C-alpha cells in the first residue's frame, strides 16, 4: 500500500485524487491547498485529511507526494519532497526555467528517490499501442504529431504560461523524443499568430509547425494550434519501412447520422479531461506500480528536462528563423 499526499486540489489535482483513490494499492492520506475550501471538498470526497503543505510533505506515514500545484511551485515543492525522502509524482513541466528543472534532476539523482513526470499522453491507450507497434514497423522514417487545443486560454494565462512551446508543445516534444527514440540532430520552428492577435501582443504565438531531424535522418513534424473548432485534436502518425501507424482521435459516442446532408458524427472529445481520462488513470497506475515493484519510473525526471530543453531550442530556432542543432 503506497501512502500518498496530494499538493493542489485544482482541476488536475481532483483527477489525480480520484485515480489514486480508485487504485487499490494507494492510501491517499493528506491533501494540501492554500484554497482551503477546495482542499476540504476534495478530501471529503476521497476520505483524506486536509493539512498544510509542510505537513503533507513531511508526514511520517507518507511514501509519495503528488505535486499538482501551479507550475511556478513545482521545483520548490519537488526539492522539499525529495528532502523529506519521498517519491514524487510531478505534473509537467518541472519548471519553465531549464536551470531550475536541471537542479531538480540533479537532486533526484543524488537522492536516488523515484521521480515521475506526468506526461499523461504516453499512457493514452492508442498512443501506447502505437509506441509498442513501432517495433514491427521497421526503421522509423517519418513521424507526424498533430496537437490542437479546442480554444485558446485567457491571455492572462498566456502571459505566465512560459509560451506555447513550454506550455503546450512540451507534451508533443516529450511524445516526439519518446517515439523517435534516438538523438536529435536539429530543430526548426515556424510560428505565427493566426488565432488571436492578443496572443501576439502578449509576445506569444498560437500556431506552430516544428520539424525535428534525428541523427539517422528520420524526420518529425509537430503541428500545433490553440484552436480547433471541431474539438481537441490529438493524433500521431508514424511511417516506417513496413507501413504506417495512425492513432486517431476519440469521440464521445459512436453514433453516425445519415441524412440528406450526408453522414455526420460527433465532434471530437472536448478537451484533455475527457480525451485523456484513461491516460490519467493509467499514468497513476504506472507510477504506483513502479513504486510497488521498485522498478524505474516509466517517465523520468530527465525526460522532463529533455522536453524543456527542446522547447528552448525551438524558441531559439523561431527567433533565428532557421534550424538549430540539438
Q: Which residues bind its own copies (CB under 8 A)?
A: 18, 22, 24, 45, 47, 125-126, 129-130, 133, 139, 141-142, 144, 148, 188, 190, 192-195, 207-209, 211, 213, 217-219, 221, 223, 225, 227-231, 233, 239, 241-268, 321-323
Phi, psi of 293 (to 5 degrees): -95, 5
Nearest-Å Rg of the Cα atoms of the chain is 20
Cβ distance 269 to 231 under 8 Å?
A: yes
Give the torsion sign (CA, 37, 43, 44, 50): negative
Phi, psi of 262 (to 5 degrees): 105, -155
Alpha carbons within 13 A on the beta-carbon side of 236: 26
Taking the C-alpha atoms of residue 78 and residue 146, their distance in angstroms, rounded to an integer, is 31
Phi, psi of 208 (to 5 degrees): -145, 150
**Nearest to its own copies of 98, 223 (CB atom):** 223
Work out the number of other CB atoms within 10 angstroms of the CB of residue 217. 9
**Nearest to its own copies of 259, 296 (CB atom):** 259
DSSP 13-78: HHHHHHHHHH-TTEEEEEEE-SSHHHHHHHHHHHT-EE--HHHHHH-TT--EEEE-S-GGGHHHHH
**Nearest to its own copies of 69, 234 (CB atom):** 234
Cβ distance 206 to 199 under 8 Å?
A: yes
CB of 119 to its own copies, least distance (A): 18
**Nearest to its own copies of 112, 217 (CB atom):** 217
**Nearest to its own copies of 23, 312 (CB atom):** 23
**Nearest to its own copies of 40, 251 (CB atom):** 251
**Nearest to its own copies of 6, 90 (CB atom):** 6
CB of 205 to its own copies, least distance (A): 9
CB of 137 to its own copies, least distance (A): 9
Phi, psi of 212 (to 5 degrees): -120, 140
Q: Which of 218, 215, 145 is nearest to 183 (CA)?
A: 215
**Nearest to its own copies of 67, 245 (CB atom):** 245
Amino acid at each position: 500500500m503506497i501512502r500518498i499526499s496530494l499538493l493542489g486540489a485544482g482541476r488536475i489535482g481532483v483527477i489525480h485524487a480520484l485515480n489514486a483513490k480508485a487504485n487499490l494499492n494507494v492510501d491517499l492520506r493528506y491533501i494540501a491547498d492554500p484554497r482551503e475550501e477546495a482542499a476540504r471538498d476534495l478530501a471529503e470526497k476521497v476520505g483524506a485529511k486536509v493539512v498544510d503543505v509542510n505537513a503533507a510533505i513531511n508526514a511520517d506515514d507518507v511514501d509519495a507526494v503528488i505535486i499538482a500545484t501551479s507550475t511556478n511551485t513545482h521545483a520548490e515543492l519537488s526539492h522539499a519532497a525529495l528532502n523529506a525522502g519521498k517519491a514524487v509524482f510531478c505534473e509537467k513541466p518541472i519548471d519553465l526555467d531549464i536551470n531550475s528543472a536541471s537542479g531538480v534532476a540533479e537532486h533526484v539523482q543524488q537522492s536516488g528517490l523515484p521521480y515521475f513526470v506526468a506526461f499523461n499522453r504516453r499512457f493514452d491507450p492508442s498512443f501506447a499501442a502505437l509506441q509498442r507497434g513501432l517495433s514491427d514497423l521497421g526503421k522509423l522514417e517519418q513521424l507526424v504529431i498533430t496537437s490542437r487545443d479546442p480554444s485558446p486560454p485567457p491571455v492572462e494565462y498566456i502571459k505566465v504560461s512560459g509560451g506555447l512551446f513550454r506550455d503546450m508543445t512540451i507534451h508533443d516534444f516529450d511524445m516526439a523524443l519518446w517515439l523517435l527514440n534516438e538523438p536529435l540532430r536539429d530543430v526548426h520552428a515556424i510560428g505565427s499568430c493566426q488565432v488571436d492577435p492578443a496572443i501576439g501582443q502578449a509576445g506569444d504565438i498560437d500556431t506552430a509547425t516544428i520539424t525535428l531531424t534525428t541523427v539517422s535522418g528520420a524526420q518529425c513534424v509537430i503541428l500545433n494550434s490553440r484552436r480547433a473548432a471541431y474539438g481537441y485534436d490529438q493524433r500521431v502518425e508514424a511511417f516506417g519501412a513496413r507501413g504506417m501507424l495512425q492513432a486517431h482521435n476519440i469521440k464521445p459516442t459512436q453514433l453516425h447520422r445519415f441524412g440528406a446532408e450526408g453522414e455526420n458524427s460527433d465532434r471530437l472529445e472536448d478537451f484533455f479531461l475527457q480525451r485523456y481520462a484513461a491516460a490519467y488513470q493509467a499514468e497513476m497506475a504506472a507510477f504506483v506500480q513502479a513504486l510497488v515493484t521498485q522498478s524505474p519510473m516509466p517517465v523520468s525526471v530527465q525526460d522532463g528536462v529533455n522536453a524543456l530543453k527542446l522547447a528552448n531550442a525551438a524558441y531559439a530556432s523561431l527567433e533565428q528563423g532557421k534550424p538549430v542543432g540539438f
